Amino acid sequence: MVIADLLKTHFPLQNIQDVVELFRSELTRDGEPNLAILSIVLGAIENTLTVNRALPNEAECERTIEPIFPILELSTVEALHEKFVTLIKGSVDLSEFSEKFATRDIVKRISDTVWNTLTRSYYKDKAHIQSLYSYLTGCKLDCFGVALAVVVACQVMGYRDVHLALSEDHAWVIFGEHGQETAEVTWHGKGNEDKRGQPICLGVAEKSWLYLNGHPVKCSRHMEVAAMVSGINPSINATTDSLEMGSLQQELLWLLYDLGHLARYPMSLGNLGDLEEICPSPGRPPPLALFQQAIDVARRHYAGAHVYPHTYLGGYYYRQGLYSQALSCWADATQTIKRYNYTREDEEVYKEFMEINNELLPHICKMAAVGAVDGQRGFLSDPECYVNLLRLFDGICGWEEGSQTPVLHIGWAKNMIFCLSKFEAGVRGKIEVHAEGEEEEDEKDGSDTEIDSKPPSPLPPPPDITIKAPENDGPTPPPHANGGADEEKIRS
Ligand SMILES: CC1(C)CN=C(N2CCN(c3ncnc4sc(CC(F)F)cc34)CC2)S1
């Protein structure tokens, strides 16, 4: 599979704009964008800008720092591309691969080829091992990277039906004449036997967050480009990001946005919102618009089955100090997770809710109680906030109901009680709890606030509980927990 001449005209790549123009050309050309080339290019640049990067010390900061954007030659990219094509075509008997559409056997064979060329053992959560560059130069890929490599390999083999399917913490492939087949091609999490080659059965998918109840993001080739751009990791270390890499990711996401390829991809809209919060682009929609667009897309195209659009927006509001709004988003998030049964493969979203329930919420309530939260005066006397706090806890409890694995432990309960007890007694009298399907009462005089009476499963009658403020002063607030985004990072 030769590299098209059109593509070659963009090399050598010397700056961000050159890369953006290469991507624009590939995304607007006839036929499919060359996923292998684009992944190699992103991986090569990321490697130069983030891996083993010597950072200037204080003194050096005074001097101008020489430009470090790598000059990426066509020959480098061509050699790696050739290596990939040879490896893939060399590992499968071409005569068997004559059908127009992929079969489970072919997908499994290609997954085996990628799988068997990986380094025997390496740290799977390492950064910067998501691209074909990492695969071809270091034989390392993370969970997402393996799935992407399989899809890229299928493109090299000429299968236009094999596409990436993405949940909020897993990736697999769809294939067949109508894209009706599914297959695991990578592993998930720690200590879980990989299920490569197996289909994702509806029985497994329907109550599991990991498979989004059958509503994953099903990528086109252009959305597969969006996935690799979203997968860019600008981190140099735990506290510093590469300014150039972050800027390249942001530029490429706006290019994909303008071409419409983020329109069915909530998490990439969330990624772009996070980048815009750090470094706003003049003339572009604000972060809030992007986070709200992501929620809207998830509601309209994925049956509201996605959790992260709500936690993206909740984290943003939290960082902006808009705690009532953050609480409302987090309640929407738990009302979403409530539909699923918790399994041990759901750790990532469990950690999200653990941070919200056990760190962020107690911190907000503690601050509000000492009146330190001026913008949120009244938080603890606002019935809307109290309703959302109850919706949030209802969602978490609903998540546990019907699950094989418990969600809550005493730490959760203590924090829930701590937060509930911070609210003023009077606020409890201003709300009404309606169970699912209960006859709507006559229009109220507007003084009461109603809990969302449309949860998917009927609300059990509220138990008689007495709420006591804990003896101690409650949990110590988190240092800078911030709703899922990384600690304040330096961009160099
Ligand atoms: C609100 C949050 C805690 C902030 N970041 C979040 N991310 C969630 C995961 N992210 C993603 N962003 C774009 N696409 C994908 S596909 C995927 C699953 C993987 F196995 F393929 C993850 C993911 C980006 C970062 S959720």
Taking the centre of ligand 1 as the mean of its atom positions, its distance from the CA of residue 168, in whole angstroms, is: 6
Residues in Cβ contact with 146 at an 8 Å cutoff, skipping those fewer than 6 apart:
111, 114, 115, 118, 185, 186, 187
Please, is 120 exposed, middle or buried when counting C-beta atoms within 10 Å of its C-beta (0-12, 13-18, 19+)?
Answer: exposed
Neighbours of 210 (CB within 10 A): 21
Q: What three-state secondary structure class fits 72?
A: strand
Taking the centre of ligand 1 as the mean of its atom positions, its distance from the CA of residue 323, in whole angstroms, is: 23
| Residue 166 β-bridge partners | 171, 217
Q: Is the CB of 308 under 6 A from ligand 1?
A: yes
Please list the pLDDT of the chain residue by residue as tens digits (492 residues).
578 898 999 999 999 999 999 999 999 999 999 999 999 999 999 999 999 887 777 777 776 666 789 999 999 999 999 999 999 999 988 787 778 999 999 999 999 999 999 999 999 999 999 999 999 999 999 999 999 999 999 999 999 999 999 999 999 999 999 999 999 999 999 989 999 999 999 888 889 999 999 999 999 999 999 999 999 999 999 999 999 999 999 999 999 999 999 999 999 999 999 999 999 999 999 999 999 999 999 999 999 999 999 999 999 999 999 999 999 999 999 999 999 999 999 999 999 999 999 999 999 999 999 986 655 568 999 999 999 999 999 999 999 999 999 999 999 999 999 999 999 989 988 998 887 777 655 544 545 666 643 344 333 333 323 223 334 444 444 434 444 444 567 776
Q: Is the CB of 268 under 6 A from ligand 1?
A: yes
Taking the centre of ligand 1 as the mean of its atom positions, its distance from the CA of residue 50, in whole angstroms, is: 20
Residues in Cβ contact with 269 at an 8 Å cutoff, skipping those fewer than 6 apart:
257, 262, 290, 291, 293, 294, 297, 309
| Residue 218 β-bridge partners | 165
Q: Is the CB of 144 under 6 A from ligand 1?
A: yes
Contact 143, 167 (CB under 8 A): no
Taking the centre of ligand 1 as the mean of its atom positions, its distance from the CA of residue 408, in whole angstroms, is: 24
Taking the centre of ligand 1 as the mean of its atom positions, its distance from the CA of residue 169, in whole angstroms, is: 7
Predicted TM-score (pTM) of the model is: 0.90
Q: Is the CB of 271 under 6 A from ligand 1?
A: yes
Is the ipTM here above 0.90?
Answer: yes
